[in-house]
Structure 1
């Protein structure tokens, strides 16, 4: 199993998804697109594409000129029947690639907040792992209006389109199910001043959040990751 991972921003670890891929011995090729590493022209050498998060918008072509090419590559993976997983910014890139609408600069959704499954998730190979409202880590402002033909799978109080898919193998997930407690702690530490401006009490309550909601979110995240890995090989 050969997986292409495209990083749109530094410090975007695979977390729970990386653990699930390691369990099946997947080969991972990582491209730091934010650093100027070129994207492949076609999906031919890979079974799946993963796109991770970042603070930019999916429309920020001036500062991140690789975005149009990444949209084309995303569409090529999906149109060829290969699996695609977009998380946070990655989900917004999927929306752009499939002619959905990117909605920018909404109020921030941050921290461990519940995500709820929609009826369509019950029979889905991946999102059926979300069986009830469950805390997951969020850190985003932008969201999307869905492309034609997309199927909504999960929502939160602030964001109707928390998880959705196109066809059988293209999955877009707004919440950070990949972000294990170790990843959340690292992000919070490295961006402490920025987070303090957004959520002044986060530093004080983070240890308790990690111990409680973070533990539950890790179980969910690994379950969804393992289910997505199975879809890659289906």
Structure 2
């Protein structure tokens, strides 16, 4: 399988998604449009994975490639290719599908409980998960559910946690790719940003990682493998 990976920021971890793609022997095309503006020609790929970033989904002035990336995600899904958007990637997918991006309204950080909807429990990817599970969050923005999309998961603070928009198109607001090693590196790399999002969280990190973080690692790899199986 051939998979285009789009990174939206300098420090990007593929985490559990990378593990699942490696297990499947995927051939990866890596794109960093935040640096050079280059996006994939999806005729050369079977799937697209779009990761997160610090910018919001309507930050066209500072990241002028965003409208075209949102369009490409929508077009790839419409063409029957597998598409996965994570955090900013989900927000861009929602944009490409005509939904509204809501900036700064739903801050969440840390391992947060997410609950499946009835549609989520029946979904070919999220249906592999328990009805309620911990998963890592780092975002302030959200979006409205795209017209015709299936609402798959919610949290107490952000209703739009996951959706499916077609047979092979998924967006997740939560960072299921972020295993404990990824989270630890984020804490090392961005201590000031973490403190702004969740004061005192650095002191709680070790205890949370040992408990909820370990369960989230299993959840993330289960979900990643389930997505890769759809490609």
Task: Give 1:121 deviation, angstroms.
Answer: 1.6
Contact 1:5 1:50 in 2 (8 A): yes
Deviates more, 1:193-202 or 1:10-19: 193-202
Contact 2:106 2:158 in 1 (8 A): no
Task: Give 1:107 deviation, angstroms.
Answer: 4.1
Distance, in Å, in 2 between the alignment partners of 1:146 and 1:179 is: 24
Distance, in Å, in 1 between the alignment partners of 2:2 and 2:89 is: 19
Q: Which runs of 5+ in 2 are unaligned?
A: none
Any idea what SS the aligned residue of 1:125 has?
A: coil
Q: Which runs of 4+ in 1 moved over 2 A?
A: none
Find out whether 1:39 has 2:39 as its counterpart: yes
Distance, in Å, in 2 between the alignment partners of 1:125 and 1:107 is: 27
Task: Give 1:173 deviation, angstroms.
Answer: 0.2
Q: Which runs of 5+ in 1 are unaligned?
A: none
Distance, in Å, in 1 between the alignment partners of 2:86 and 2:197 is: 21
Distance, in Å, in 2 between the alignment partners of 1:197 and 1:22 is: 35
Distance, in Å, in 1 between the alignment partners of 2:211 and 2:15 is: 18
Any idea what SS the aligned residue of 2:43 has?
A: coil
> Please, what is the CA RMSD of the aligned residues?
0.9
Task: Give 1:35 deviation, angstroms.
Answer: 0.4
Give the TM-score normalised by structure 2: 0.98
Deviates more, 1:120-129 or 1:181-190: 120-129
Write the deviation string for residues 130-186 of structure 1: whole angstroms up to 9, x where unpaired. 222111100001001011101000110001110101011110000000001000000
